[in-house]
Amino acid sequence: MSIKGRVHLFAGDDEFAVRTTAGELMDSLVPESDRAFGLEVVEGQVEKKEEVFASIKRCEEAFLTPGFLMTGAKVVWWRDVLFLSEGQTAQSEDVKNRIKGFAQMLREMEGEGNILIITTPKVDRRSLFFKVCSERFTVREFLVPEKSADAGRYAQSVLQHELASHGLRADSEALLRFLARVGVDSRQIVNEVEKLSLYVQGRKEVTVEDVDAIVSPSAESAMWDIQDAVGQRQFGKSLQVLRNLLEQRESPIGIVTMILGRLKDLQVYREALDQGWLRLKSGGRMAEWGQMEPGVEEQLTHVLKRNPRSLHPFRVGMLAQQAQLYSPAMIRRAQQQVMAVQEALVSSSVPAAVQVELLLARLLADGTAGAGVRAAGGRTGSPTR
């Protein structure tokens, strides 16, 4: 065995990917029938200094001790180690010195012997431990990107991989609807794809309707659902989503704030459509940004808190379609109504749930759903301003 194969460090905040990869390696190294003596698990999910010292000592002893009744190498899994980063415990000089001693032992060891698998949510890349692992052994990092756009692309790659592993495929609209409901957590993506594969019962193509029917929304995406229901002027759906959110103990003020945020976005998108900066395409399912006067794109980025061109054309198209259902006057009036309810929620004795339901009725239950839809790129059929 080469020295590189004796230690495997899997690190990163994508906890599911870290555990899955480590588990697959363990399965390849130790058949289930040999695990009684061929596998030793040492827990690293500890924080107190005394527990950290004990975990390091157990790992070191397990790694250096031959397997009982075994002729080959034993596998030691040092699992979920919490003190390899820069946390409060790891910053203790005693802990740092103990980890350095362990790293020095790894640096000096020979090529034959037991195998060590280490999983950790975070590791200090400046530490001697990480440098030794990087220079001599196998290191893989699974990091969810910090930027939302990069995190979205990372999640989409995980989703497409999982769909393919189940023999499934989906178009861009279904992929985006899935991610809008689930978010970027790998474990949740895997769980929901498993549900989808059972739901479609042998079909290969996953549709938007399948996603809506079976994929469970995260708490964050449920907030997006009420934004979309308001944007699409769907009164019944908005009430249903509202009641689900309140049952989950979401804050009424938070819900109303999300609605106001969507109205602000729709105000921008409506203006962009009217000015010709934004045009619908593909039968209205997608949209693209066109040429703008100098400084306009910077202003839109400031108002939207993101570059408008960074959103997927399907998402832009959906917001543009929603903006067509409101005239500028309707949006201004809706914003005033929402802000009035924001104030009333902290000053009125009327139950919060009742106030938010009445708000949705005022905004949506007026028979104007669908008003103002126009042809892609056109300026006809606008609601009354």
User: 250 phi and psi, to 5 degrees?
Assistant: -70, 150
Q: First and final CA of the chain: distance in angstroms?
A: 76
Give me the CATH topology for the region 148-214. Helicase, Ruva Protein; domain 3 (1.10.8)
Tokens standing for residue 125: 């890349």
Q: How far apart are CA 250 and CA 228, in angstroms?
A: 17
Tokens standing for residue 86: 């820069």
Nearest CA to 328 out of 248, 251, 272 is that of: 272
Say if CB 200 and CB 163 are below 8 A apart: no
Q: What is the mean pLDDT of each run of 10 residues along the chain (385 residues)?
A: 89 88 91 85 91 95 81 88 79 88 92 91 93 95 78 85 92 86 84 92 91 80 85 93 88 93 94 92 79 88 83 83 94 96 92 95 69 37 42
Q: What is the pLDDT of residue 90?
A: 63
Q: What is the pLDDT of residue 184?
A: 80
- Buried/exposed 118-148: b ≥16 CB within 10 Å, e otherwise: bbbbbbbeebbbbebbeeebbbeebebeeee
Question: Looking at residue 115, what DSSP letter applies?
Answer: E
Tokens standing for residue 307: 């570059």
Q: What is the pLDDT of residue 69?
A: 61
Q: What is the pLDDT of residue 9?
A: 97
Instruction: Collect all residues with Cβ–Cβ distance below 8 Å to 357 and sequence separation of at least 6.
Output: 239, 242
Q: What is the pLDDT of residue 1?
A: 62
Task: Show the DSSP H helices in 276-377 as ranges.
Answer: 296-304, 313-324, 328-345, 352-364
Q: What is the pLDDT of residue 381?
A: 40
Q: What is the pLDDT of residue 367?
A: 47
Q: How far apart are CA 158 and CA 180, in angstroms?
A: 14
Q: Is the pTM of this model over 0.75?
A: no
Q: What is the pLDDT of residue 185?
A: 82
Q: What is the pLDDT of residue 383?
A: 47
User: 190 phi and psi, to 5 degrees?
Assistant: -60, -45
Q: Where are the domains of the chain?
A: 3-141, 148-214, 219-364
The secondary structure element, H or E, covering residue 286 is strand 286-289
Domain 219-364 sits in CATH at 1.20.272.10
300: left (phi over 0), alpha (psi -120 to 50) or beta: alpha
Nearest CA to 200 out of 217, 189, 214 is that of: 214
- Identify the CATH homologous superfamily for domain 3-141: P-loop containing nucleotide triphosphate hydrolases (3.40.50.300)
